[in-house]
Amino acid sequence: MSLGWKRNERGLARRAFLGTAGTMVGLPLLESLIPRRARAADLGSPKRVIYYYVPDGIVMAAWRPATTGPNYALTPILMPLAPLKSDFMVVTGTVNQPAKPASAGDHAAGTSGFITCATAVKSTTDIRLGISIDQVAAQKVGKATHVESVVLGMEAGAQAGTCDSGYGCPYVRAISWSGISTPVPKITNAKIAFDLIFSGVDPMASQADQAKRLLYRKSVLDVATARGTALQSRLGATDRQKLDEYFTSVRETERQVTDVGTGASCKGATAPDPAAAMDFEKNVKSFADIMVLAMQCDVSRIFTFMLGNAGGQHVYSNLGITRGHHDISHHGGQAVNLMQLQTIDTYEMTLLYYFLNKLKTTVDGSADLLFNSTVYFSSEISDGDRHNHDDMPVLIAGHGGGMLNTGQHYSLPTTTKVSDMLVTTLRTMGINDAKLGDSTGPVMDILKV
């Protein structure tokens, strides 16, 4: 690709790209670049969906609001989200029956069924499940962007062997499935995820080749920034500010993920687990920044993120906790375990808040990214000790472009299917004919109709 601008009636492209040799910097949507005819037609901003998974369930007694409707009081776990109360809804009462196994293995069955709402075949070799909602979206609208969907997570791990009571490891390490036997590998290295946005990365490259690419990418960003500076004289005041904020975001995100380092040669090896390379919280926030940046420059509109694998054993030492999360989730009703679980769950909300607030404070057309997004948050089970798949902890953030009735607690009938909730999220992208698992149709209560 040659470096330059494709011209239109105003001398510039509506959607501008700066790049060369497979490395791109996509600009955010700038009103000044849209032809007057298109502006008059009110093209609108694209809609996004994000599916955000946390392992090991939630302490429901400290999660579930006592009252329903818009005047509900936030519970202790939800308090970190208080500044954004009008931008999300709490949903209780849903059930994911296909994710309930006939025998042991609730973490594997629940995680594989998280957004597939399909029943996993208990086997280490005969891996069979179903397509996930993000890949349903990717099949419908994914080709409108450079990357059809982005699949991210904090923990890697081998795909072979047994990981939970006879279930194969793919069931515990993937929530995104493009087919009945095809889990979509997630990216667990922030630098590689960043390179995905700018294209042309080879994760199997040697350390020397990676260093060359890093220098090359920086030079492209220097050229892109210079081009953007030259472009500013042709932009309105709002677009000049938006462009400045965008390049600041690119630089800051690159700085954060570059801190991971290039590492040793990875020929013949899997990508390194970023949790071992940098601070857990900083790493989670780096992935959040990457997702926001990908939305901002419209690289992709469909995302999944796993805070951990099924039955995650991350030790939250930064919270003063010395045992693994999964071990504590088998709380047995003991006060000390429940207190530590509540601490972890509340911390998970602070991490979610960082992502949601980043969306909220990023301008997107005439609104912001959070307004034009739908973020589905939940876990593979409800209570970590009971391993139940009913009364699921569901939070939906964002306004879906104005289609969602946020700012409320919805206590739905206990027969409400998770699959119906997921199909509803695709309504916000204009996908009205989605099929998933045992779904019978959208949950109209949470939509503005």
pLDDT tens, 217-253?
A: 555 556 566 666 666 666 666 666 656 665 665 665 5
Rg for the chain (alpha carbons), in Å?
Answer: 22
pLDDT at 323: 96
How far lies 89's CA from each of 4, 66, 253, 275, 288, in Å? 44, 14, 29, 30, 20
Q: What is the pLDDT of residues 269-278, one digit of tens each?
A: 233 344 444 6
Distance CA 246, CA 233 (A): 16
pLDDT at 263: 33
Closest CA to 346 of 79, 10, 130: 79
- Kindly report whether the global pTM for this prediction surpasses the value 0.85: no
Distance CA 424, CA 441 (A): 8
pLDDT at 175: 97
Cβ distance 324 to 72 under 8 Å?
no
Helix (H, G, I), strand (E, B) or coil at 153: strand
Residues whose CB is less than 8 angstroms from the CB of residue 279 and which lie 6 or more positions away in sequence, other chains included: none
pLDDT at 162: 84
Question: 91 in the Ramachandran plot: left (φ > 0), alpha (ψ -120 to 50) or beta?
Answer: beta
Residues in the chain predicted with pLDDT less than 70, given as ranges, are: 1-43, 197-278, 449
pLDDT at 190: 86
Distance CA 57, CA 388 (A): 9
Helix (H, G, I), strand (E, B) or coil at 263: coil
Distance CA 243, CA 258 (A): 22
pLDDT at 25: 54
| Average pLDDT of the chain to the nearest whole number | 82
Closest CA to 153 of 49, 271, 270, 308: 308
pLDDT at 299: 85
**C-alpha dihedral, 199 to 360 to 186 to 133, nearest 10°:** -110
Structural domains of the chain, ranges and CATH numbers in brackets: 48-189+302-446 (3.40.720)
Cβ distance 129 to 177 under 8 Å?
yes
Q: What is the pLDDT of residues 5-28, one digit of tens each?
A: 223 333 344 344 444 334 445 556
pLDDT at 119: 97
Q: What is the pLDDT of residues 179-201, one digit of tens each?
A: 999 999 999 988 888 877 655 44
Cβ distance 73 to 65 under 8 Å?
yes
